[in-house]
A = this chain, B = another copy of it.
Amino acid sequence: MVDVNNIDVYLKSQGIRPSFHRMKILEYLLRERNHPTVDTIFDSLRGMFPTLSRTTVYNTMKLFLSHGVVQALTIEEKEVRYDADTSLHGHFKCVVCGAVYDFGLEEEIKTFMNLKDFQINEHYIFLKGVCKTCLESREV
């Protein structure tokens, strides 16, 4: 995983110039781990520096995406989310609170990905349902 204290080094290693905005955006992704949309990022950060433009967030996410610094998750139509954890893992979206949880994939997942005759470049796995918190608060 990427060290939050060495974001500049990491960005350079990925061929991205570590500007202030880029570092703050990546720091946000790494710190919150909330799989945010562009608007979530924008709204969260402009409190800190109100000069931020939404276009900058879009541009930065596109740049990050093209350099493999983030992956895009289209869990819901019209709701593209971004994840700075680009490793292979599954996502669970709670349909009640909207939170997106990560979960690891064990060996078994690799079995069905080993499809002959096909070259696998990207794999997306996600689930939707109700998370533990929401299940409990409904039991009232």
| Chain A residues within CB distance 8 Å of chain B | 72, 74-77, 80, 90, 92, 95, 101, 103, 105-106, 108-109, 111-113, 115, 117-132, 135
Residues of B within 8 A of A90 (CB): 112
Instruction: Name the CB-closest residue of B to A80.
Output: B77
Residues of B within 8 A of A74 (CB): 74-77
A44 nearest CB across to chain B (Å): 22
A2 nearest CB across to chain B (Å): 24
A109–B121 CA distance with the chains assembled, in angstroms: 19
A36 nearest CB across to chain B (Å): 15
Residues of B within 8 A of A80 (CB): 77
